[in-house]
Structure 1
Amino acid sequence: MYSTFSKVDERAAGGSSIFVKDNVIHSTVQLTTDLQAVAIRLSLDKTITLCSIYIPPNSIIDKAKLKNLTDQLPSPFILMGDFNAHNPLWGSKTHNAKGKIIEDFVSQEGLCIFNDGSNTYLHPGNGSYSSIDITICDPSLLLDYSWRVHDDLCGSDHFPIVLEHFLILPNREYHVGNLTRRTGPCLRISVERNFSQRCLRLCKIQF
């Protein structure tokens, strides 16, 4: 069974949600923000904060709002979601204003980005691919997880993003920078911005 944590803005499409297995110790993080964001604390090998966010395509985002949000997230944290932001730093072919703002924010706050340049979004109208879903974290977590894009859209137009902890993965080798890590059985974190029935199906698919 899963517990659900959601936030929706009735004036805009989207919303943000986190599903977490009931056997994982977790608690809600109360946020004071007008952003479509929701956060929880998870007790894994260590306690971390996971925050899911959705920024609509035509909305304006500024560094002050992002700073206000991350200041409310107990460290260490992972912030992931659909930012509708384009920047070659995480795999986009172009820049947009949101992409530049997020790049500057990540740099100024000393944060890290998991993305490896893979496409995360399939445009339903023209069939083009882009990378607008970003996973940001405290530097202390960067080498603790592998990051990948799942190969099944699962009924969405965004590919699920999968984070897998190195300490409890099936036996595999992963390369992070110049480091090679052999993992040894898996906690998987997947965050989707829509909290519809397809999220329930997403929780049941085999990653």
Structure 2
Amino acid sequence: MTFKIIQWNINGYTNNYSELQTLIEKHTPLILSLQETHIIHPKSIPIPNNYTLITKNSSPSHGGVALLIHNSLQTREICLNGGFDVVCAELKSNLKFRVISAYIAPNRRFSMNNLQNVLETSNIPVLVTGEILDKFITQSNYILLNDGSPTHLSTHNTLTNIDITFSSPILQLDSTWYTENDLFGSDHFPIIINLFDSYPTRTQHTSSKPIFITDKANWERFSELAEEYSSQLKPSTNINKETATIQKIIISSAHKTIPQTHPTSKPYNVPWWNNNLQKLRDDKVKKWHTEKKHLYPEHHSI
């Protein structure tokens, strides 16, 4: 089955709760990793049906992290203290692993040792999501899953890549990573992460992952990008990391030069949804796609 995880800087859990419900209905994820939740009183906030909330409280105006975990999963919370906002859950599937949601505020004093100490609490494979130090990846054996797509629309109306996903090599070798086209009310794009596992759950979530349309590929540009990325990345003596690096070069080049099919998903099914709201959303998405082409033209070159 597809083990689907959504990573999203929600920019206010309560303010964006209706959009969160819509996102869940669209993708039916097993886990949601949320940042900048601004949750102060966890017992007084709504929680989506069939999910359990694990959260770390924050100040009213910034910070805070959470994990929403589907009740069909067998999990346990792992207490971590890294000097920044972080929550962790350990999942029991065919391969036991941990999911971490982390947020490091721009003004927080922080060293990479803090993050290293959090990750070295056990030898269990880990998937780390959130706004964290990307330079940590170059000094560790963890693999960056990001494919170069923008994840954040800044106040200067520019697109940036501040949301990071990285994992232990054993998880990266059988995973996909892509961003939603819609902001869903936040200033960060939801990130869809698929891990492929045969672990059976009581609730099966069916969806198909995007497939590259190779007949429409720009192979000349693909070769140029692959060569460019190869020259930027240093070889590694770690065979797992080297394999993951080669895969990253291929996937990153493919995302920019080969169009993909759209993954199938369930229609919006929240009680308050109607045709007028659907028409307004479709119009908003269409206008956003037009604006995005101007902000980030290189992702629409094909």
* TM-score (normalised: structure 2): 0.49
Tell me what 1:82 maps to: 131
* Equivalent residues, number: 162
For the residues of structure 1 that align with 2:110 and 2:60, how far apart are their CA atoms? 16
Matches within 5 A, 1:142-157: 142-157=172-187
For the residues of structure 2 that align with 1:57 and 1:172, how far apart are their CA atoms? 34
Whichever structure has more strand as a proportion of its residues is 1
Shift of 1:162: 0.9
Partner AA of 2:191 in structure 1: I
Shift of 1:35: 1.1
The higher radius of gyration belongs to: 2
Tell me what 1:112 maps to: 143
Tell me what 1:170 maps to: 208
The C-alpha deviation readout for 1:70-127, integer Å capped at 9, x for no partner, is 11255200111023xxxxxxxxxxxxxx5xxx42x3233211100010000012x322
User: Given the alignment, which residue of 95, 100, 104 partners 1:55?
Assistant: 104
Judged with a 3 Å threshold, the aligned counterparts in structure 2 of structure 1 residues 146 and 10 are, in CA distance, closer, same or farther, namely same
Whichever structure has more helix as a proportion of its residues is 2
Unaligned 5+ runs, structure 1: 84-97, 180-185, 187-207
RMSD: 2.7
Tell me what 1:160 maps to: 190
User: Given the alignment, which residue of 30, 41, 51 partners 2:90?
Assistant: 41
Shift of 1:44: 3.2
Shift of 1:172: 5.6
Aligned identity (percent) is: 27
Partner AA of 1:136 in structure 2: F
For the residues of structure 2 that align with 1:171 and 1:116, how far apart are their CA atoms? 16
The C-alpha deviation readout for 1:34-57, integer Å capped at 9, x for no partner, is 210000012233221000001112
Unaligned 5+ runs, structure 2: 1-49, 199-206, 215-246, 252-263, 265-302
Partner AA of 2:63 in structure 1: G
For the residues of structure 2 that align with 1:172 and 1:119, how far apart are their CA atoms? 18
Secondary structure, counterpart of 2:193 in structure 1: strand
